[in-house]
A and B are shown apart, each in its own frame.
Chain A
């Protein structure tokens, strides 16, 4: 990115309005879904469609959260990092809404049926696994928790976001009937984001950044 543009974008991202703007933007899908639900816009099976939409948005926000760091590295705009936690928390918020819609509306708190679903239906098992991880990450997302856990342990815990991303994508792949394209698009985006990180962290990349010949060791990188 050209230096001028990068400075402009960075300044905008650092402004006091940037976080509120992202916050409001991230609420729009929720508001839109509630609006549709209230006006009959969710179609013949509004409950099923509500579960579907909240799940899709959870997955989208999770992928956006995972995209922040590669995007920051590619564009060399460090200010992007300011938004990662908020976007990750929105992924959790939509996942929570997804689970609440399923448990509270679709199954109407039939806990026995929900438990049977979790243990018997692999796609729900996997989805619940992703939700448990996101819950742990949301609960430990505060600065206080980073301090309490210590940087290294906190980072190790928050690396499980990749397991949540993978589980979320597989949850979608496993629940559709036949061979459908959309879930594989999400899975491909996830794989691409992981590949970008691996490429960035590769010995070759480290060497290039350090202005040296490739060294085939990761020690001494960043």
Chain B
């Protein structure tokens, strides 16, 4: 029942990634660090009931049940997804703009950033028993990034309900940033005055910046970001600045040194 909006681009250049690849090749360390671990082990995650608390620098803090969130008008967004590990996919998400939720809670003038948090429950997410990262997984955006119409909360993909391994029941999708920014299985969204700590940045600050915009000119210490392999392709392709969404989002960063704020 999702209304389709045409997001990208040349369908010949960017065919949608096979659903099987998108649901069996995942980074979701809460279920193990192997690429197929999430699809094999995420069955332990219980996505009902589910609540998302939205609080912080807001006029009207709210707690949304997943049923409430599913009432937002859903639309399909076909986005490129670029992982920091230099692979990429094209995924048809089903969701709604994050801005819709943020507007409901009425951010105060002091709100400058938005912090996100994944569920923390080792019984449901066995990977949290290991110290791969400081659990729970946290992420953050500047408020203007979060309000950008391309930033969505997804509840589905490929016209179906979001599979557990892809971040059910609700996840962030920020297509112009590396995939790790698009936090999965969100339980809390907090508007803050200060830049919030984020999981990968806390773990290895020299490798993972707060902004993490897709940028072929700024190398990750372990992976060249100049090119990427689209999952299913043989040859690598050049990586696009802002993952190809520069026209829409580059103005958010005008005047910023993106080598420093990587």
User: Could you tell me if A47 and B229 are in contact, using CB atoms closer than 8 angstroms?
Assistant: yes
Rounded to whole angstroms, the CA-CA distance of A107 and B224 in the bound complex is 11
Chain B residues near A179 (CB-CB < 8 A): 130-133
Q: In the complex, identify which listed stretch (B21-29, B64-72, B111-119, B164-172) lies at the interface while the others stay far away.
A: B21-29
A181 to B204, CA, bound (A): 17
**Residue from A43, A116, A180 within 8 A of B224 (CB atoms):** A116
Query: Does any Cβ of A come within 8 Å of B260's Cβ?
Result: no
Residue of B nearest to A120 (CB): B219
Residues 19-49 (chain A) with a chain B CB within 8 angstroms: 43-45, 47-49
Give the CA-CA distance A179 to B33 in the complex, in Å.
10
Q: Which of B201-226 contact A (CB under 8 A)?
A: 203-204, 219, 221-224, 226
Question: Is A121 in the interface zone, CB < 8 Å from B?
Answer: yes
User: In the complex, are the beta carbons of B33 and A44 less than 8 A apart?
Assistant: no
Interface string of B220-261 (1 = CB under 8 A from A): 011110110101101110000000000000000000000000
Q: How many residues from A make CB contacts under 8 Å with B?
A: 25
Cβ B132 vs Cβ A108 within 8 A: no
Contact A117–B25 (Cβ < 8 Å): no
Q: Is the CB of B132 within 8 A of A45?
A: no
The reply to whether the CB of B20 lies closer than 8 angstroms to some CB of chain A is yes
Chain B residues numbered 97-140 whose CB sits less than 8 Å from any CB in chain A = 130-133
Q: How far is the CA of A107 from the CA of B236 in the complex (A)?
A: 8
Q: Is the pair B231, A178 in contact by a Cβ cutoff of 8 Å? A: no
- Say yes or no for A145: interface residue by CB 8 A criterion: no
Chain B residues lying within 8 Å of A180, measured Cβ to Cβ, are 33, 130, 132
Q: Is A131 an interface residue (CB 8 A)?
A: no
**A176 adjacent to chain B (CB < 8 Å):** yes
Do residues B25 and A178 form an inter-chain contact, with CB atoms below 8 A?
Answer: no
Is B87 part of the binding interface, using a Cβ–Cβ cutoff of 8 Å?
Answer: yes
Chain B 15-50 per-residue mask, 1 if CB under 8 angstroms from chain A, else 0: 000101100110001000101100000000000000
What are 13 A-B pairs with beta-carbon distances under 8 A?
A43-B36, A44-B35, A44-B232, A45-B35, A47-B234, A48-B229, A49-B35, A108-B235, A117-B224, A121-B223, A121-B224, A179-B132, A180-B130
- A residues with a Cβ closer than 8 A to B are 43-45, 47-49, 106-108, 110, 113, 116-117, 120-123, 174-181
